[in-house]
Structure 1
């Protein structure tokens, strides 16, 4: 009875962030991959093929539907696993295991494409190929999320200290179209790394050379990229030097406002991601941050693609 009540209440859109119609589609989409992974895990544990028919033996304490719902609630509100375990009447480790099983499946889904429900973008190369084929102008931005501070004397501890936020952060790069719909989120790096360095280590320069027709708007943090690809990347104009004529300053200000208004949609996409509390201040282990961000961004892209 407790498990039934937990499923009924927690499946509401307020807890999962998804309408029940979309939640049902998501569960059906993930079920096959989860069953294959579960069968592989059992086969590895047995060391041989099963002797009894599928479905024999004890049932799961938490069925797959509840595992997906519990994972979505954890991603959306960062609830302690013990609190969810109390609602479902299971041990805390059962919820933890469910999250570790379902979260990678969510992260591996890729990002929805507007008007093409059967197409998912999983890499930055996919995004550039899509933008070139559909003549989409991209918006590119980096965003930071606070994470746990590494232990004292741990190698690379200073790499997470952001020069901008003065906090321990991890950085993600987000790519959207002109309407702010998330097409890709990735290139996860420690917060100390510069936004431009992040995308260059992801191979974006090679992609701009491979797809010369692709255009992108960026902020001032990518000015070097705009200088390297002036016909493809547009950054805010440089401020006139001191003592410049008033008309030059007025023209610069107008151009800056125009470029900002055309690029602001990617900031709105970042804000959509951070409506999920787990990306406002990530309290989990840093090694799971990349997977968590990709899972949330993929779920947000499903909703954004319908706009």
Structure 2
């Protein structure tokens, strides 16, 4: 049972949610926020629950549609394969999805009671994205590209900052946009190996609609834009100069971007770079967090 739960929750990928909350925490610390440990714990639980919910819904609906039986699995794309090997446990994925979403809703309503109804502008779109991503958003190319990033950047990260410091200054918005670009690119590249399978179940993302060549160009542009926004934020004093250390993560892009363009249609050759993409995003966000902590110190 526990193996099924961990599989459909994709626990090895939940570090992304933790990294987003960590960045929100260090930015709020830099801004002079005072923290309540129980509040921080609630935000962490809600972030993890939101990530688990979208993963479990994805596992369940991809199993039901038959997509999981068509994809060529990699360690970073094509689902966890949990329900393919244990189809009689599909109900566990659905229950986990709904229960974790319930945690998000209950925790969100508590925070709304504490800090006011404007938090609903963050919470409600998040709930909609969690439930609709696999079934509906994947059929809308532009929305499919940016919805994951919006969920983690403009909703999860900004929502955490709002709770921690009850305000959203320009630097917070900028960090939210940077995270949005990074996470959108994470999902974009993970769609490359699944193009043929996704087409068979009616999905319409950019690798399908525009092709892998154009999608590789979009992938490169979004990452370069994220660095440009960081430099802009420092030049406008929205972020401390220390955050420029995050540009060091760009050393990985020297290898990643050409490799994605070169191997975009070869799943075997591309797979290691799916992993490098995950490492790059985590390194970028961790360097931002460390630099903000240093600036606060």
Give your verdict on TM over 0.5. Answer: no
More strand by share: 1
- Computing the radius of gyration from Cα coordinates, the structure with the larger value is 1
More helix by share: 2
Which structure exhibits the higher relative contact order, with contacts defined as CA atoms closer than 8 Å and separated by 6 or more residues?
Answer: 2
Q: TM-score, normalised by structure 1?
A: 0.29
